[in-house]
């Protein structure tokens, strides 16, 4: 499908229709296709094992949010693999990876991102062409990380850098080190996580053009298998093993409380409007307030790794739950924007999970203080009681 046709479709029939069109099998190389291609060209490297994740019901909750039930269940994460697509083209801003007349789905993360990459390319590519930023130097060997959701911490961790496990396996097997195609400018957490994982500027290609060819496109299979509208967990064990112990060794955790309240006062949405009153409830239990934007990635990992209990409004700061152990979570959930992804992550690490449904004003939330205190008491005792109130 031509980009102009996609634009007309989005305008006339909406984004959901555009997703169906861009992700139709006739337009993409599916994960199964990629596996077969890599097997046939002799580049397939399988590693690890399939994983099963069971998400049991929340241990406690205040306010009934039926939407949360869709995250409960048992999920299978496929056995991961990595391989090479030869003579690929990288096209757009952010780009898609193309081979023949199809794009490589596993190089573009998810159906939403694949569609957003096309939409954003329609907006950005003409600007780059006018500025003379057309075809970039051809690359011998590379991995595509740059995508439309990479500036969100959760998406960067769950759907982008988890794929570097496949890159490491590829390097171990072949002795080759493919370049990482990243955005034009890395933000602070992107740069820090790459440095922590052993990558520096010499390993990176900053995407600032509209097109280039790659002789050998290295494609790790996705570690978060997204099939909207179904939720999915992500495989985090490699990242946890790579960073958790280092954080605990390098950061003085004695300055942290193990009872953590994560504030979103530094965010644009989902700030807790009655935060001062909530802290009056939490502080007698030993909770201390933290703003993650003022901390390094390594400090945040260490904070979570040593935490006994975490209370916070829903937000990407909870991504580092993957580094916790025996944690209890009280999530302040906006009643009009329910998302159980951190409920799923908590259960993946065998944690205790609760939520309280919160009234919303604009994009911000207000928590019922009575429910908050009751859930904190249950969290500290790890009592599973289901609905309260």
Cβ-contact 332, 359 below 8 angstroms: no
Q: pTM value? A: 0.91
What distance in Å separates the CA atoms of residue 101 and residue 280, rounded to the nearest whole number?
60
Same domain, 372 and 244: yes
In a domain, 230, yes or no: no
The answer to whether the beta carbons of residues 253 and 324 sit under 8 Å apart is no
187-214: average pLDDT: 96
Over residues 7-19, the mean pLDDT reads 57
Instruction: Count CB neighbours of 49 within 10 A.
Output: 10
Confirm whether 288 is domain-assigned.
Answer: yes
| Among the ranges given (1-15, 111-125, 291-305, 361-375), the one the predictor scored with the smallest mean pLDDT | 1-15
Q: Which two tokens stand for residue 130?
A: 């006018």
The token pair that represents 33 in the structure block: 């296709």
Decide if 297 contacts 136 (C-beta within 8 A). no
pLDDT for 130 equals: 46
User: Residues 286, 204: one domain?
Assistant: no
Residue 8 has pLDDT above 60, yes or no: no
184 within 8 A of 207, measured Cβ to Cβ:
yes
Q: Do 90 and 163 share a domain, yes or no?
A: yes
For the ranges 31-45, 86-100, 243-257, 276-290, which has the lowest average pLDDT? 86-100
Mean pLDDT across 19-25: 63
Helices and strands (DSSP H and E) totals, the chain: 12, 19
Q: Which residue, chain included where needed, has tokens 């203080």?
A: 369
**C-alpha 324: how far from its chain's center?**
17
In this predicted structure, what is the pLDDT of residue 88? 97
Q: Compute the distance between CA of residue 258 and CA of residue 326 in angstroms, rounded to an integer.
A: 12
Are 79 and 50 in contact by the 8 Å Cβ rule? The answer is yes
Q: Give CA–CA dist 34/91, Å, rounded.
A: 19
| 133, 210 Cβ separation under 8 angstroms | yes
Please check whether residues 165 and 271 belong to one and the same domain.
no
- Nearby residues of 250 by Cβ (< 8 Å), 6 or more positions away: 298, 302
Task: Tell me: cis bond preceding 94? Omega within 30 of 0 counts.
Answer: yes
| Neighbouring-strand partners of residue 97 | 90
Q: At 298, give phi and psi (nearest 5°).
A: -65, -40
Q: Tell me the CATH number at 357.
A: 3.40.50.2300
CA–CA separation, 382 vs 389, rounded Å? 18
**From 94-103, 135-144, 254-263, 357-366, the region with the lowest mean pLDDT:** 94-103
Is 256 contained in some domain?
yes
pLDDT of 210 > 60? The answer is yes
Name the β-bridge partners of 136: none
Residues 248 and 114 both lie in one domain: no
Pick the range with the lowest mean pLDDT from 16-25, 50-59, 115-124, 280-289. Answer: 16-25
Where helices occur in 14-160 by DSSP H, the ranges are: 15-22, 31-40, 111-130, 153-155
Can you tell me the distance from the alpha carbon of 121 to that of 172, in angstroms, rounded to the nearest whole number? 34
Tell me if 234 is assigned to some domain: no
- Within-domain flag for 46: no
DSSP code for 156:
I
Contacting residues for 191 by C-beta, under 8 A, at least 6 apart: none
Residue with more model confidence, 27 or 223? 223
Residues near 276 by Cβ (< 8 Å), separated by ≥ 6? none
* Residue 260 contacts residue 303 (beta carbons within 8 Å): yes
Which helix H or strand E contains 16, and what residues bound it? helix 15-22
Which of 188, 104, 84 is closest to 147 using CA atoms? Answer: 104
- Measured CA to CA, the distance from residue 362 to residue 222 in angstroms comes to 35
Least confident of 14-28, 162-176, 314-328, 362-376: 14-28
Give the residue numbers spanning the domain of 337: 239-388
pLDDT of amino acid 3: 47
CB count, 10 Å around CB of 61? 25
Count of domains observed in the chain: 2
Same-domain status, 336 and 250: yes
Tokens representing residue 35 in the block: 């596996």
What is the rounded distance in angstroms from the CA atom of residue 349 to the CA atom of residue 237? 10
Same domain, 304 and 207: no
Task: Write down how long the chain is.
Answer: 389
49 inside domain: no
Question: Which secondary-structure segment (H or E) carries 212?
Answer: strand 211-220
pLDDT digits (tens, 9 = 90+) for 334-352: 999 999 999 999 999 999 9
Q: Do 34 and 183 fall into the same domain?
A: yes
Residue with the bigger pLDDT between 226 and 299: it is 299
Mark whether 156 and 248 lie in a shared domain. no
Across residues 298-318, what is the average pLDDT? 98
Considering the domain architecture, whether residues 257 and 212 belong to the same structural domain is answered as no
29 and 132 fall within a common domain: yes
Q: What is the mean pLDDT of the chain?
A: 91
76 in a structural domain = no
What pLDDT score was predicted for residue 359? 97
243 and 156 belong to one structural domain: no
Q: Where are the alpha helices (DSSP H) in 175-262?
A: 188-196, 237-250
Residue 219: strand, helix, or coil: strand
Burial of 265 (0-12, 13-18, 19+ CB in 10 A): exposed
In a domain, 317, yes or no: yes
């Amino acid at each position: 499908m031509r980009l102009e046709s996609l634009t007309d479709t989005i305008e006339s029939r909406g984004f959901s229709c555009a997703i169906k069109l861009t992700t139709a099998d006739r337009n993409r190389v599916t994960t199964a296709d990629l596996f077969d291609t890599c097997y046939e060209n002799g580049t397939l490297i399988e590693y690890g094992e399939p994983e099963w994740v069971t998400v049991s019901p929340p241990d406690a909750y205040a306010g009934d949010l039926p939407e949360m039930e869709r995250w409960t269940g048992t999920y299978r994460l496929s056995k991961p693999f990595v391989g090479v697509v030869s003579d690929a083209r990288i096209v757009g801003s952010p780009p898609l990876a193309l081979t023949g007349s199809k794009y490589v789905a596993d190089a573009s993360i998810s159906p939403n991102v694949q569609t957003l990459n096309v939409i954003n390319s329609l907006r950005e590519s003409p600007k780059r062409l006018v500025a003379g930023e057309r075809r970039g130097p051809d690359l011998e060997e590379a991995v595509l990380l740059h995508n439309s959701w990479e500036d969100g911490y959760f998406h960067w961790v769950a759907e982008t850098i988890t794929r570097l496990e496949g890159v490491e396996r590829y390097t171990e097997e072949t002795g080759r080190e493919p370049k990482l195609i990243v955005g034009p400018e890395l933000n602070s957490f992107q740069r820090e996580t790459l440095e922590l994982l052993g990558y520096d500027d010499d390993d990176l290609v900053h995407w600032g053009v509209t097109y280039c060819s790659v002789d050998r496109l290295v494609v790790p299979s996705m570690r978060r298998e997204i099939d909207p509208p179904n939720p999915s967990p992500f495989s985090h064990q490699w990242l946890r093993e790579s960073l958790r112990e280092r954080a605990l060794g390098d950061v003085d955790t004695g300055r942290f409380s193990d009872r953590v309240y994560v504030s979103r006062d530094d965010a644009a949405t989902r700030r807790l409007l009655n935060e001062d009153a909530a802290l009056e409830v939490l502080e007698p239990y030993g909770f201390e307030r933290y703003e993650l934007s003022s901390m390094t990635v390594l400090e945040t990992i260490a904070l979570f790794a040593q935490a006994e209990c975490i209370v916070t409004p829903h937000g990407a700061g909870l991504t580092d739950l993957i580094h916790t152990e025996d944690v209890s979570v009280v999530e302040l959930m906006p009643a009009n924007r329910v998302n159980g992804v951190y409920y799923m992550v908590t259960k993946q690490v065998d944690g205790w999970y609760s939520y309280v449904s919160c009234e919303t004003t604009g994009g911000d939330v207000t928590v019922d203080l009575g429910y908050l205190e009751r859930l904190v008491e249950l969290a500290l005792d790890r009592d599973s009681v289901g609905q309260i109130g």
